[in-house]
Amino acid sequence: MPTAAENQIASEAKVLQSYLGGKWQSGEGEGADLVNPCDGTMRARASSKGLDLKAALEYSRNVGGPALRKLSFAQRAELLGKIADALAARRDEWFEISRRNSGNTKTDAAIDVDGAIGTVKFFAKLGGKLGDAHLLCDGGPTRLARDANFQGMHLGVPLEGVAVHINAFNFPAWGLWEKAAVSLLAGVPVLAKPATSTAWLAQEMVSAVIEAGILPPGGLSILCGSPNDLLEHLRLGDVIAFTGSADTGEGIRQHPRVRQHNIRVNIEADSLNAALLGPDAAPGTPAFDFFVREVVREMTLKTGQKCTAIRRVLVPSEHAAAATEAIATALSKVVVGNPANPAVTMGPVVNMAQRKSVEDGVRRLMEQTEIAYHPPSFAPVDASAEAGAFVPPTLLKARSGSESELVHELEVFGPVATVVPYCDKQDAFALARRGGGSLAASVFSGDGEFLAEAARELGTTHGRILLVDPSIGDSHTGHGIVMPSLMHGGPGRAGGGEELGGLNGLWFYHQRTAVQGSAATLAALVAQAADPRAE
Residues 270-289: tens digit of each pLDDT:
899 999 999 999 999 999 99
In 3D space, the residue among 511, 501, 532 whose CA is nearest the CA of residue 69 turns out to be 511
- Asked if pLDDT for residue 39 goes beyond 60, the answer is yes
Angle (deg, nearest 10), helices 320-331 and 286-300: 50
pLDDT in tens, 155-193: 999 999 999 999 999 999 999 999 999 999 999 999 999
pLDDT for res 534: 67
Q: Annotate 216-248 with b (16+ C-beta within 10 A) or e (fewer).
A: bbbbbbbbbbbeeebbebbeebbbbbbbbbbeb
Question: How far is the first Cα of the chain from the last one, in angstroms, to the nearest whole number?
Answer: 49
pLDDT for res 270: 85
Q: How far apart are CA 451 and CA 351, in angstroms?
A: 39
What residues form DSSP beta bridges with 440? 464
pLDDT for res 400: 74
pLDDT in tens, 213-269: 999 999 999 999 999 999 999 999 999 999 998 889 999 999 999 999 999 999 999
Annotated active-site residue 268? The verdict is yes
The pTM (predicted TM-score) of the whole model is: 0.92
Cα R_g (the chain), whole angstroms: 24
pLDDT for res 8: 47
At 80, give phi and psi (nearest 5°): -60, -40
Annotated active-site residue 211? The verdict is no
Q: How far apart are CA 346 and CA 336, in angstroms?
A: 5
Residue count of the chain, please give it: 535
- Asked if pLDDT for residue 411 goes beyond 60, the answer is yes
Average pLDDT over residues 325-345: 96
What residues form DSSP beta bridges with 136? 156, 530
Catalytic, out of 96, 268, 411, 498: 268
Extents of the domains making up the chain: 52-267+497-534, 273-487
Model confidence at 535, pLDDT cuts 50, 70, 90, reads: low
Average pLDDT over residues 129-147: 94
Sign of the dihedral through C-alpha 392, 272, 372, 399? positive
In 3D space, the residue among 44, 48, 45 whose CA is nearest the CA of residue 97 turns out to be 44
Three-class SS state of 147: coil
Q: How far apart are CA 226 and CA 216, in angstroms?
A: 26
Q: How far apart are CA 459 and CA 279, in angstroms?
A: 19
pLDDT for res 5: 42
Q: How far apart are CA 155 and CA 149, in angstroms?
A: 18
Return the DSSP state at 198: G
Helix (H) or strand (E) holding 157, with range, is strand 150-158
Under 8 Å between Cβ of 342 and 105: no
What residues form DSSP beta bridges with 381? 337
Under 8 Å between Cβ of 121 and 220: no
Catalytic, out of 38, 93, 307, 457: 307
CATH topology of domain 273-487: Aldehyde Dehydrogenase; Chain A, domain 2 (3.40.309)
- Asked if pLDDT for residue 359 goes beyond 70, the answer is yes
Helix (H) or strand (E) holding 264, with range, is strand 264-268
Average pLDDT over residues 23-49: 93
Q: Specify the CATH number for 52-267+497-534; select among 3.40.605.10, 3.60.20.10, 3.40.50.300, 3.65.10.10.
A: 3.40.605.10
pLDDT in tens, 122-132: 999 999 999 99
In 3D space, the residue among 286, 283, 308 whose CA is nearest the CA of residue 298 turns out to be 308
- Asked if pLDDT for residue 10 goes beyond 70, the answer is no
Angle (deg, nearest 10), helices 199-212 and 174-186: 40
- Asked if pLDDT for residue 4 goes beyond 50, the answer is no
50 CB-contact burial (10 Å; exposed 0-12 / middle 13-18 / buried 19+): exposed
Residue partners of 360: CB distance under 8 A and separation at least 6: none
Sign of the dihedral through C-alpha 354, 359, 360, 362? positive
CB atoms within 10 A of CB 282: 15
- Asked if pLDDT for residue 86 goes beyond 70, the answer is yes
What's the number of CA atoms in the CB half-sphere (13 Å) around residue 215? 32
